[in-house]
Amino acid sequence: MIFTSFELENFKGIGEPVKIDLSGGDRSFPFILVGNNESGKTTTLQGIHLLSQLCLGKQLTGEDFSSIRPKTAFFDEDIVLSTTILLDETEIEKLAKIKILKKIKDDLSEKSQTLHLSFVYSFDNSICTEKYIKINDKNYGDEIATAFLNYLKNHIPEIVYYDDFMFDVPDKIRFLKSATHASNEELKEDSFLSDKKNLLWHDIFNDLLIGSRKKRAGKEPKSDINFQRDIVDCSDEDAVDQRLSSINDYLNTVITKDWEDITGGKTVFDRFSVEKVTGSNPNFADFCLKVKAKDRTFSLHERSKGCRWFFCFKVLTDIRTNRSKNGIIFLLDEPASNLHIHPQEKILQSLQKLSSFDKNSVIYSTHSPYLIEETHVDNLFIVRNEASDCDDPKILCRKISQLDKGSDELVRSVEPILQKVVMNQVKQLGKNWQERILKICNTTKETDIIAESVQKIIILVQTIFR
């Protein structure tokens, strides 16, 4: 299954429906939401992520409704979160074989391979009074809708949302050995063990072990692999050492080379490593993340913000792909905004590579010209906020080719970014700057306002290089 579009209506600052249509773009390249501060980029990503959680069966609470409804004095409309899903023939056949879902299959037109799924929440005086699910614009009732969502869980790509990659790296990651699980309830309540950050790294270590096994085998591992069982609870110390060594080789294959590219080969460390911590409670297995630099060793949390950000970025994207069998859509909010120009350009390359992985897609927001590849115009969305007040939410999101050519807000949103993009390419390409500018102009010629902006940039550049 593939998500081909997302549509959000009356979600937070979004009023009229906003559609993020991926069907006309290149899925092997990131989809980019471009806009100024407060334009609605984050809201759009949050809406897509919530929609994905609803597809997995999430039930919204009163607190959720208060958070997602538009902040009008009296909201009396529907919040509608919708997605279009493309199924292959095998998935359609499976759908037909599930008795309770056969009605959905029967209602599909003969050649149709898409399903349109909508979650509708009706409000009266800002209180949710009714909620239901529509499949291809039809309400089949709760029983069929619930069965359909249960079917979707095993087939749709996972959607993960990161609003930042800069978080504290713990000085140790703690596991509880399985032999003590049933015998000591007090150990289970250890504050460090149950901390959310610690549990996050449990998943990451599992991803690392799976990735190292795939790298060594050159294919998907046949058997289930689990860090708790295969390292924490493994009694064969030699096997544990070999597996940790394999993890560290994989970790450095994914991260160190790219970090060297970002630093221009001037990295001050040799490699990252996951190491066991000795001397801790024998009921626990503690591990730490180390950075080896020449003849010295540091904890990862002691390194620079840029180094820690990049490490977390790679483990939560490239290495994170090991966890999902149906692919992942990554939603990234302003990635690399804390990095300098050259690292941002390298991050763009990493995002392009991440999108090229089988079954993966990337949607990210930015206002940085160094994270935009101007040649993929069908993957470029402009987000802007034209709300006059809270009673008139109006976040808009459209592809460049669909923009209102007469909007002053459009000029303010797009022209500065295009100008910086072109100037950046001029600096990089030297004598080829004229060819690149013409290429940009040709790719945007059907959108008059953009072409006009590019013409202004050409005049500016010609003046500078005259």
pLDDT band at residue 392 under the 50/70/90 scheme: confident
pLDDT at 53: 97
Q: Worst-scoring range by mean pLDDT, 85-89, 357-361, 454-458?
A: 454-458
pLDDT at 463: 46
Total Cβ atoms within 10 A of residue 305: 10
Outline where 98-236 has alpha helix (H): 102-107, 142-153, 185-188, 191-194, 196-217, 227
Give residues with Cβ within 8 angstroms of 392, minimum separation 6: 15
pLDDT at 307: 82
pLDDT-above-90 percentage for the chain: 47
Question: Using one digit for the tens of pLDDT, what is the confidence trace for 433-444?
Answer: 666 666 666 665
Q: Can you give the C-alpha Rg of the chain in angstroms?
A: 25
Query: How far from chain centre, in Å, is Cα 230?
Result: 29
Select the more confidently predicted residue: 104 or 457: 104
pLDDT at 465: 44
Q: Worst-scoring range by mean pLDDT, 91-105, 171-185, 208-222, 279-293?
A: 171-185
Closest to 250 measured CA to CA, from 201, 314, 162 = 314
Range 173-189 average pLDDT: 76
Please name the helix (run of DSSP H) or strand (run of DSSP E) that holds residue 16, with its range, or none: none
Q: DSSP string covering 404-421, please? A: -TT-HHHHHHHHHHHHHH
Question: Using one digit for the tens of pLDDT, what is the confidence trace for 109-148?
Answer: 777 889 999 999 999 999 999 999 999 999 999 999 999 9
Long-range contacts of 22-26 (CB under 8 A, 24+ apart): 22/361, 23/84, 24/378, 24/399, 25/376, 25/378, 25/379, 26/376, 26/378, 26/379
DSSP conformation class of 182: T
Question: Using one digit for the tens of pLDDT, what is the confidence trace for 163-176?
Answer: 988 777 888 999 99
pLDDT at 297: 87
Query: How far from chain centre, in Å, is Cα 243?
Result: 29
Range 183-212 average pLDDT: 87
d(CA 446, CA 449): 9
Provide the pairing of β-strand 78-86 with 361-366: unpaired
Range 270-278 average pLDDT: 88
Specify the amino acid at residue 159.
I
In the predicted structure, residue 365 carries a pLDDT above the cut 80 = yes
In the predicted structure, residue 264 carries a pLDDT above the cut 80 = no
pLDDT at 191: 81
d(CA 8, CA 366): 20
Count of helices and strands (H, E) across the chain: 16, 15
10 Å CB burial of residue 43 (0-12, 13-18, 19+) is: buried
Select the more confidently predicted residue: 345 or 237: 237
d(CA 135, CA 113): 13
Q: For residue 280, is it left (φ>0), alpha (ψ between -120 and 50) or beta?
A: beta
Please name the helix (run of DSSP H) or strand (run of DSSP E) that holds residue 462, with its range, or none: helix 448-465
DSSP conformation class of 266: -
DSSP conformation class of 75: -
- The mean predicted confidence, pLDDT, of the chain is 85
pLDDT at 29: 93
Outline where 320-447 has alpha helix (H): 341-356, 408-429, 433-443
Give residues with Cβ within 8 angstroms of 332, minimum separation 6: 45, 162, 317, 351, 362, 363, 364, 365
List the structure tokens of 377.
Answer: 């115009």
pLDDT at 128: 96
CB half-sphere exposure, 214, CA atoms < 13 A: 16
pLDDT band at residue 416 under the 50/70/90 scheme: very low
Specify the amino acid at residue 339.
L
List the structure tokens of 364.
Answer: 């990210």
Q: Worst-scoring range by mean pLDDT, 3-12, 65-74, 145-154, 405-414?
A: 405-414
d(CA 431, CA 40): 38
pLDDT at 444: 58
Select the more confidently predicted residue: 218 or 12: 12
List the structure tokens of 53.
Answer: 């959680």
Give residues with Cβ within 8 angstroms of 144, minimum separation 6: 100, 101, 103, 104, 135
Greatest C-alpha distance within the chain: 80
Give residues with Cβ within 8 angstroms of 282, minimum separation 6: none
Q: Worst-scoring range by mean pLDDT, 78-82, 102-106, 287-291?
A: 102-106
